[in-house]
Structure 1
Amino acid sequence: MEHSNTIILDKKQIAHKIKRIAYQVYETNVEEEEVIIAGIQNNGFEFAKKLKKAVESVSPLHVTLCEVIIDKKKPTNPIRTSLEPSEYTNKSLLLVDDVLHSGTTLIYGVKHFLEVPLKQFKTAVLVDRNHKKYPVKADFKGISLSTSLNENISVIFEKNNDRAILE
């Protein structure tokens, strides 16, 4: 069987998914003045930056970005964030990543944020692969795909060429 990359989301589709998620974020935070969008480093944080811009364009919400640094090879290692816990305590927080594969990264990210009281806690991913090792779900997702275990989904954020591919 020949292996080739299949584009599952192109730039326009990704922009549409981000805008739809932005509206969902606003709907669940309509009573709030501020929401923290915490993006898991690298692509999750890139997704968070795009989502911040979209949420601010469709709502009066003030969005504060937070970068979440997780060792994906050893997720039990201490997790670091670009904000101090006092900056997100008792606030509405959205943890985002680009792809939900096994759920490992997301569940350890969730665990980290559960150590401080939050007003509301939601999760968002651009692509949900439906192959979870842990009982974690994304509250907001761009697309759900049932893939085989040997297939991989990559999200590539490039200037004027964002895309999600099935490898």
Structure 2
Amino acid sequence: MKKKTVLLDQAAMGRALTRIAHEIVEKNKGGDNLVLVGIKTRGVPLTKRIQEKIRQIEGVEVPTGELDITLYRDDLETVTSTDDPELKETKIDSDLKHKKVILIDDVLYTGRTVRAAMDAVMDIERPSQIQLGVLVDRGHRELPIRADYVGKNIPTSEEEIIVVQLEEVDEQEEVSIYEK
């Protein structure tokens, strides 16, 4: 893969997440009755950052959770190189019933990850509403799914890949576009 350009640096990512946090607070009339759920892997640190920004804006601590969607994927046999997929822990300590769950992920592409995440949440407990926030929406949907909160829309070709790197996971902070 060949790196084409950096789309978001650390400062731009911070601004995008601040905007998402403000939009979440505005749309939901505050931070009450919300649960932020990060889709593993990079959705989890993004969730914690948005939680902190909402705390700064509203002065409330919105509960968070971590969601592993591995067993809910409809393309499991094509994305794993072994017979046994690598399972990560789902950790949601908050009651989801009658809450607005906001799923957080790094990149929205085909919509299949989000569909799997919605299935996983519904198996845990039925919330009153599920919303979606993503750092990057790159288009090319295969399912009728759209994000409620988007940090940046980046139209891409099928030959391009969006790579999100976060300090907590990758020890680097940027969003780049690569050519296959």
Settle same-fold status: TM greater than 0.5.
yes
Q: Give the TM interval when normalised to the shorter protein.
A: 0.7 to 0.9
Match of 1:165 in 2: 176
In the alignment, is the contact (CA less than 8 A) between 2:31 and 2:62 conserved in 1? no
In the alignment, is the contact (CA less than 8 A) between 1:34 and 1:64 conserved in 2? no
Q: What's the CA shift string for 1:27-62, capped at 9, x where partnerless?
A: 122255242110001101111111111111111332
Instruction: Note if 1:37 corresponds to 2:46.
Output: no
Structure 2: stretches of 5+ with no match in the other structure: 77-86
Q: Secondary structure at the match of 1:99?
A: strand
Match of 1:95 in 2: 103
Q: What's the CA shift string for 1:92-145, capped at 9, x where partnerless?
A: 210010001211111111223245332332100000011111111111000111
Which is helix-richer, 1 or 2?
A: 2
Aligned-residue CA RMSD in angstroms?
2.5
CA pair 32-13 structure 1, distance change in 2 beyond 3 A: closer
Give TM-score, length-normalised by structure 1.
Answer: 0.87
In the alignment, is the contact (CA less than 8 A) between 1:70 and 1:80 conserved in 2? no
Following superposition, the deviation at residue 80 of structure 1 comes to: 6.3
Match of 1:75 in 2: 73
Taking the aligned partners of 1:107 and 1:87, their CA distance within structure 2 comes to: 21
Taking the aligned partners of 1:93 and 1:61, their CA distance within structure 2 comes to: 16
Give TM-score, length-normalised by structure 2.
Answer: 0.81
**Same amino acid, percent of matched pairs:** 26
- Once the two structures are superposed, the pairs formed by residues 16-165 of structure 1 within 5 Å of their partners are 16-30=15-29, 33-71=32-70, 75-76=73-74, 81-83=90-92, 87-115=95-123, 116-158=125-167, 161-165=172-176
Taking the aligned partners of 2:30 and 2:45, their CA distance within structure 1 comes to: 26
